[in-house]
Amino acid sequence: MERDFYTGIWPALAASTPDAVWIAIAAAATLAVFALFDISAPRRPPRP
C-alpha cells in the first residue's frame, strides 16, 4: 500500500510539473550548494 503510494505519486508529480519549475529548483539547489561552500570556507584576510 505504502509502496504503491510512493511509486505512484512521484511520476504523477513529475509529469504535472512544468520544466520551468524543475529548472528553478535546480538553479536554487545549485546556488544553495555554492552558498554553503562559501559560508564554510575560511575567510582569508584581504591582501594589502
Q: Is the pTM of this model over 0.85?
A: no
Q: Quote the pLDDT of residue 30.
A: 93
**1-48 per-position pLDDT tens digit:** 556 666 666 777 777 878 888 899 999 999 998 888 877 767 777 777
Q: What is the pLDDT of residue 45?
A: 74
Classify burial at 10, counting beta carbons within 10 Å of its beta carbon; exposed 0-12, middle 13-18, buried 19 or more.
Answer: exposed
Q: What is the pLDDT of residue 29?
A: 93
Torsions phi, psi for 43 (to 5 deg): -80, 120
Q: Grid coordinates standing for 46? A: 584581504
**Nearest-5° Cα angle at 20, 14 to 22:** 45
SS3 34: helix
